[in-house]
Amino acid sequence: MPLETATIYPTNKHNRPFSSSKIPLHGFDLFGAPIQILNHRFFHAPTNGSFPEVIDKLKSSLAEALELYPPVQGTVQSDEEYVYCIAMDEVNRPGTPFIVETKDTPYTGDSEELSPRAGLLLPPGSTTLTVKVTQVNKKRIIYILSDDIFIRTS
């Protein structure tokens, strides 16, 4: 099955206003090379719900989490003086990519294929979070929830 991509936006369930449109990053935030932190979590399919129901629940949970933790929905930017920040104004909140993939092949081990983005370096303006859910081996269903958080631009 081809990849399906949706864009998830924060809810207004908790009616929380933004306190700032930018969060400046400290020097320690920028220490080292630009990296992504890849997290792959493996789950057996729940007994009480179909794959589309699980995906809908994950999307709604992510939307609520984005409201409660605004920096995750921003992009890492630098200004003319190369001061890095997490920009969260309307232009820099493009939504969080949520990718769903179904594979008929059996799970053979953790790999880069399970990640939502390829490579370690991303261009400036990339979203700070991308999520991917992969369903493998339909006979013995396993869901793989992958996310990556982009630390900074180069």
pLDDT at 17 over 60: yes
Residue 66 belongs to what H/E stretch? helix 51-68
Q: What is the torsion angle, in degrees rounded to the nearest 10, for the CA atoms of residue 108, residue 116, residue 19 and residue 87?
A: 140
pLDDT band at 6 (very low <50, low <70, confident <90, very high): very high
Q: What confidence tens digit (pLDDT) does each residue in 24-74 have? A: 877 776 665 555 666 777 777 777 778 788 889 889 999 999 888 888 888
Please tell me what DSSP assigns to residue 70: G
Domains of the chain (ranges; CATH) run 4-150 (3.30.559.10)
